[in-house]
Amino acid sequence: MGVRKFVTAMLATASIAAGGVAQADDTVTLGFTAALSGDFAAFGENMRRGAELAIEQLNADGTGPTFELFPVDDRGEAREGVLIAQRFCSDEDVDVVLGYSFSSIALAAVPVYDQCGLPVLASAVTSPDLSGASPYFRRNILTDAVQGAMMGTFAVETLGDKRIYVIHQQDDYGIGVANAFTEAAEAAGAEILGTENYLLGAKDFKTQISRIRSADPDALFIGGFYSEAAKIASQAQSLGVDVQLLGTDGSLNPELVSLGGEAVEGMIVYGMFDPSVATEDTAAFIEGYEAAHGMAPNAFSALGYDAVMTVAEAVRIATEAGDLTRESLNTAFGEIDGFPGVTGPTTFDAQGDRAGSLYFLQVRDGAFALAE
C-alpha cells in the first residue's frame, strides 16, 4: 500500500554475527480533520490540542516511532469532508485519520475511507448511523443512542422531572440524541409535552419558546450545540421561562457559559470527561494540558488525547505482529481491550463503537461541576 512502515532490517556484518536485528525509526502520520474555523471551531480545536499534547508526550518518550499530526479544516461542510478524505486516501504517508466534529461529514467521508482501507478513529461524532458504517471506522465517544438515553433516565429518575419539552437542532446529531432522550424519558415515566426543532446557526427561537412556555414543563431538553443552546437559554429567560435546562455533550464547553451567562446557570449537561472531576488517572493529563495550552482541558480535548494514545497502542500491537500498514493497524484496533485513558478504558465492539460512562455536570457559579 506504500504506507510508512516499520522496516525490520539486518544490521551490518558485525551485528549479523552477533545475531542482532533492529527496527528502523520511522514516522506514523495521523491525518486530522474537523471544523477548525467558524462558529463551531471549539470542538475541532479542543480535539486538536489534546491530540497535540499526546503526540508531544509520545515523541518525548523516544522509545517508539515519531508521531506527527496532519490537520485539515473541513469548515463543517460535507463536500469538503469528502475531498479531504480523498486527499488522505491518496497520501500514502497517512496511516490513520482522527477528528471529525460533525456526524454528517463523517457519514459522507466513510465510503471513501472504506474504499481505500484507511482506518479512522473519530472523537466527536455520535450518530447511530455511524455504527457499523465501515470496518475501517471507529470512535472513542459514546453514541447519541447511549448518551441521550442516559440523560433521559437521569432527568426522570434522579432529577424527578416528569413534564419535559424537547427542542433540537435539525440534523443527524440533534435528531438522534433527541429521539434517544425521548424514548428513555418516556420509559422512565415522564410525559414529553412537545418537540421543536431548529436549523444549525439559527438565532431567533422566540416562536418555539412561546409554545414551550404555554406547555408549562418541568424541564427543557436542548439537543444541540453550545452556540444555539446559549441563545435558547437567554431568550427563554427573557420570556420568563423558568425551567430546568438540560443539554448534551455538544453544550459541554466553556463557550456555553461565555455566551449564555446567567441564563445557563443551573443547566445540566453530560460528557465523558471534565476537569472538575479530577482523579488520580486524569490529574497528570490536566496538569500537562494546562501547562501546554494555558487553559483547562474539556471532554473533547480528553477524547482527542485518548485517540492518539489509542493509535499508539494499535501501532504497538501491529508492529509486534509484523509490518505497520493501514490494514495491520486496522486489525490492531480490533484487538485493543480495555486500554486505559483519561476518559476511561477503550474497547471497540464489532460495530466500531465504544462502551463507557458519563458524568452529569451542572453550571454553578459560571463553571461546570458534578450535578447535585
**CATH code, domain carrying 310:** 3.40.50.2300
- The count of structural domains within the chain is 2
Q: Residue 347 domain-assigned?
A: no
Q: Residue 149 domain-assigned?
A: yes
Query: What average pLDDT does the segment 195-210 reach?
Result: 96
Does 95 share its domain with 110?
yes
Q: Would you state the pLDDT for residue 172?
A: 82
How far is the C-alpha of 77 from the C-alpha of 250, rounded, in Å? 18
**Half-sphere exposure (CA, 13 Å, Cβ side) for 191?**
6
Does 117 share its domain with 230?
no
The candidate with the shortest Cα–Cα distance to 51, out of 323, 341, 334, 260, is: 341
Least confident of 186-195, 212-221, 290-299, 307-316: 290-299
Q: Is the pLDDT of residue 18 over 80?
A: no
Mean of pLDDT over the chain = 91
Does 131 share its domain with 222?
no
Q: Would you state the pLDDT for residue 196?
A: 98
Which of 173 and 229 is assigned the larger pLDDT?
Answer: 229
Least confident of 87-96, 226-235, 277-286, 334-343: 277-286
**Could you tell me the pLDDT band of residue 24, with boundaries at 50, 70 and 90?**
very low
Does 285 share its domain with 247?
no
Query: What average pLDDT does the segment 72-100 reach?
Result: 97
**Could you tell me the pLDDT band of residue 1, with boundaries at 50, 70 and 90?**
very low
Q: Is the pLDDT of residue 157 over 90?
A: yes
**Could you tell me the pLDDT band of residue 12, with boundaries at 50, 70 and 90?**
very low
Share of the chain above pLDDT 90, in %: 85
Does 246 share its domain with 301?
no
How far is the C-alpha of 288 from the C-alpha of 274, rounded, in Å? 15
Alpha helices in 68-120 (DSSP H): 78-90, 103-116
Q: Is the pLDDT of residue 19 over 90?
A: no
**Could you tell me the pLDDT band of residue 4, with boundaries at 50, 70 and 90?**
very low
Does 96 share its domain with 245?
no
Least confident of 11-20, 37-46, 309-318, 327-336: 11-20
Query: What residues make up the domain containing 259?
Result: 145-271
**Half-sphere exposure (CA, 13 Å, Cβ side) for 327?**
6
Q: Is the pLDDT of residue 164 over 90?
A: yes
Q: Would you state the pLDDT for residue 7?
A: 29
Least confident of 21-35, 113-127, 242-256, 289-303: 21-35
Pairing of strands 367-370, 219-223: unpaired
Three-point CA angle 117, 340, 316, nearest 5°: 45
Burial of 29 (0-12, 13-18, 19+ CB in 10 A): buried
Does 160 share its domain with 125?
no
Does 266 share its domain with 173?
yes
Q: Is the pLDDT of residue 5 over 70?
A: no
Neighbouring residues of 231: CB distance < 8 A, sequence distance ≥ 6: 202, 203, 205, 259, 260
